[in-house]
Structure 1
Amino acid sequence: MTQRNILAGDIGGSHFTLAQFEETLLGPELIRIERVAVDSTGSKDEILETWASMIKKMIQSENEVAIALAMPAPFDYDTGICLIQEQGKFLQLFGVNLKKELSLSLHIPESSFIFINDAQAFLLGEASFGKGKGYASLMGLTLGSGLGSSIKQGDEVRDAGLWQQSFKDGIAEDYLGTSWFVDYVKREFGIEIEGVKEMLVHPEISGRLDEIFDQYAQNLADFIVEQYDVFKMEKVILGGNITRASDWFLDKTLKSLRFLGILIPVEISDLGEKSAVYGAASVLFSKKKTSHF
């Protein structure tokens, strides 16, 4: 039985998912996992209190605490300082040392916290426990309020940072994140929406969804083609909230890729938000020979 409080979490623009693990002789075992909604446009104190409350709830003893948190970029993962400024989320956390703030709030050492890029954590989880098992070369893309990207080459999994890469008339995130849908719908229909979920049920848009997702699928296919020329990945795994609407765009994307001569599989994660949680946990257990969740 473990003598440590072992927690791993995924921080997103609308949620905080946190899991508790137990350290056994065979490796880590998932005990429980919970999700709470987070308003990333809220104040610093509101956001930190939500995170701290969830963490505190899962710390059940006075033993050593180890916490790995997957966090979106831009972020200084070594120091724990948030650098998010222009992504439309966590604006009140810019420049805040999250290790220090959470340490003070929870009365545990700053050294208890490890931060990892969320896209990197996503692909770490997929490579070990999801759709990426058995592949030497992978690309992970998380499609949500922003664009997360990661690459696996051999045993190395790293954040690719492609959200800010030049793409078409802007950067990749402009065409693959939620803002693309918001901007497209406003420009083409004169309707203001907050995101894809609202768009799918909007009575004035429902008849034009094929048109919208045709364009989004083409954007995604064009982006994958550009990255294939660089990385030659064997497979692309998609995650993030936008993939909940994958029935509208995945087949279209694959069709466009085939037309462009790219025949690699592009699949949606089965693990969902658990991918990043498992990936974050793997950092804590990286020295273990075996691990199973």
Structure 2
Amino acid sequence: MSQHSKNNYVISADIGGTHITAAVVDLEKKIIIEDTRTRISVDSQGAATEILENWSSALIQACQKFGSPAHQVALAMPGPFDYKNGISLIKDLHKYEAIYGLNIKSYLSEVLKIEAEDVLFRNDAEAFLQGEVLAGAGTGFRKVLGITLGTGFGSALSFDGITKDLNLGSEPYQDSIADDYFSTRWFLRQYYELTGLSVSGVSGLTSMVKHNPVVTDIFEEFTANLSLFLKHIIRAEKPDVIVIGGNIAKASNLFLNGLIDQLAGYVENVKIRMALLGEDAALMGAAAGFATKAGRGFSFAPVKDTNFNTQS
């Protein structure tokens, strides 16, 4: 055992569609140890060996920066995934298909030389929302609906501090599923269909918005689709607030006001807040699993309530 207590430190990681971010979380002080933060690009359509080596490399680098071996590892992972047993079930989602059926828990246990029971997985949308409820835009609300807009469409619901994945991305929508409409690939496909041109990402679209009315049209269609989809879950769950995160949320100036206006036509008293913590939300939310496992409460110091995009 190292000089650091096993129970107080977690190597936490957020698995994205194009990267992994890892850092050490101090459960006792309830902080992310900044100088351990490590980010590595990952080709989610690459070979299994390449993907797993990038993931383990980020975790090892965070450990090295911390100056201590990892004894507990928590990962915020996109689904579908067997979170208890650590087995990837991702297929037909244009990402991480090479690791389908692989036991990631066993792999990381062997590479990091820790017990398999000390490797925890949590749905990434669930971890994101747990972090925002603990320390960000969801703090102080009893019932929070969280959605993440990025490589995929994530969703979770938090009630009295207990957060669960909703998996709305798999719900039917129009001629497919919600994940196909509320993710980066929808934007890229729409732009290609309308212009015959390719663009590297949503950030590429936003950079053209002032000079290209097609981009405005695409965001208006996205807004209309998202409001239509969300109205049913909002009516059913009646959340106190909706928290929106993910890389597409960085373009909120192009859809937030329209989303608020359109949702107001379907449900009363809609309150929307943009996520505050970025990747830190998922890192915090994943690490919190060890505090829950140990039977102790876990909350970070709340972020000051500033720069919210809200509507009551």
TM-score over 0.5 for the pair = yes
Partner of 1:16, secondary structure, is strand
Residues 54-73 of structure 1 aligned to structure 2 (within 5 Å) = 54-59=58-63, 60-62=67-69, 65-73=71-79
- 1:92-144, Cα deviation, whole Å (9 max, x unpaired): 11111101112222222222200000011011111110111111111110101
- Is residue 200–residue 206 contact of structure 1 (8 Å, CA) maintained in 2? no
| Range with bigger deviation, 8-17 or 178-187 | 178-187
Per the normalisation by structure 1, the TM-score is 0.92
Partner of 1:34, secondary structure, is strand
1:264 aligns with 2:270: yes
1:90 aligns with 2:96: yes
Gaps of 5+ in 2: 302-312
**Of 38, 51, 54, the match for 1:34:** 38
| Range with bigger deviation, 5-14 or 188-197 | 188-197
**Residue in structure 1 matched with residue 281 of structure 2 by the alignment:** 275
**Residue in structure 1 matched with residue 114 of structure 2 by the alignment:** 108
Residues 1-293 of structure 1 aligned to structure 2 (within 5 Å) = 2-4=4-6, 5-24=9-28, 27-32=29-34, 33-59=37-63, 60-62=67-69, 65-201=71-207, 206-286=212-292, 287-289=295-297, 291-292=299-300
Q: Please state how far the C-alpha of 1:203 moved relative to its aligned partner.
A: 9.0
Name the Cα RMSD after superposition. Answer: 2.1
Identical counterparts, % of pairs: 33
Query: 1:262–1:216: structure 2 CA closer, same or farther, 3 Å change rule?
Result: farther
Structure 2: distance between partners of 1:204 and 1:190: 19
**How many equivalent pairs are there?**
290
Query: 1:247–1:203: structure 2 CA closer, same or farther, 3 Å change rule?
Result: closer
Structure 1: distance between partners of 2:52 and 2:275: 29
Structure 1: distance between partners of 2:176 and 2:223: 17
- 1:224-251, Cα deviation, whole Å (9 max, x unpaired): 2111121111111111111111111111
- Is residue 4–residue 68 contact of structure 2 (8 Å, CA) maintained in 1? no
Structure 2: distance between partners of 1:150 and 1:57: 30
- Is residue 191–residue 215 contact of structure 2 (8 Å, CA) maintained in 1? no
- 1:149-205, Cα deviation, whole Å (9 max, x unpaired): 001123421000110111223211121111221221122222233431232345997
Q: Please state how far the C-alpha of 1:272 moved relative to its aligned partner.
A: 0.9
Structure 2: distance between partners of 1:222 and 1:115: 32
Structure 2: distance between partners of 1:166 and 1:83: 19
Q: Please state how far the C-alpha of 1:23 moved relative to its aligned partner.
A: 4.7
- Is residue 13–residue 20 contact of structure 2 (8 Å, CA) maintained in 1? yes
2:179 maps to amino acid: E
Q: Please state how far the C-alpha of 1:56 moved relative to its aligned partner.
A: 1.4
- Is residue 199–residue 205 contact of structure 1 (8 Å, CA) maintained in 2? no
- Is residue 28–residue 285 contact of structure 1 (8 Å, CA) maintained in 2? no
Per the normalisation by structure 2, the TM-score is 0.86
- Is residue 12–residue 22 contact of structure 2 (8 Å, CA) maintained in 1? yes
Structure 2: distance between partners of 1:21 and 1:196: 31
Structure 1: distance between partners of 2:297 and 2:180: 41
- Is residue 10–residue 24 contact of structure 2 (8 Å, CA) maintained in 1? yes
Gaps of 5+ in 1: none
- Is residue 18–residue 54 contact of structure 1 (8 Å, CA) maintained in 2? yes
- Is residue 133–residue 161 contact of structure 2 (8 Å, CA) maintained in 1? no
Structure 1: distance between partners of 2:209 and 2:4: 53
